[in-house]
Amino acid sequence: MSGKASRNKGANYERRVANYLTDNNIAARRRVDQYAQGGDDLVLDLNWLSVECKDVAATSVGAWVDQAIASAGQRIPVVIHHRRGNGDVAKDFATIPVSALVQLIHIIETKAA
């Protein structure tokens, strides 16, 4: 797949993920300048979460998570990646490092207390 076609495929998936999150009351939009400046794929109203979206045939979870960590800073990095043969974003995968899972559990526990 050419560079432009690959970028378009990625942009379309980012839009689908942003729409899914927004439809579920999590305000999200695509960061249109990410290819030039780097950083998160989506802009969320959640200041503690950083999202990378991946729609590629070759799975490279380690590299994706490393990229998410580099973009996240102090936020929790998450990679949302497309599940092959599936057209429903709700059934795609979200991957986070275990250290981020611990952070997330602490946030939930603090809010529940």
Domain total of the chain: 1
Res 84 pLDDT > 80: yes
pTM of the model: 0.87
Region 95-107 average pLDDT: 94
According to the model, what pLDDT value does residue 98 have?
A: 97
CATH number at residue 97: 3.40.1350.10
pLDDT level of residue 7 (50, 70, 90 thresholds): confident
CA distance 22 to 37: 24
Give the torsion through C-alpha atoms of 18, 54, 11, 20, to 10 deg: -20
Answer with the residue of higher pLDDT: 4 or 45.
Answer: 45
Residue 89 is part of which domain span?
Answer: 3-112
- pLDDT tens-digit readout, 85-95: 888 999 999 99
- pLDDT tens-digit readout, 13-68: 999 999 999 999 999 999 876 555 567 889 998 989 999 999 988 999 999 999 99
pLDDT level of residue 1 (50, 70, 90 thresholds): low
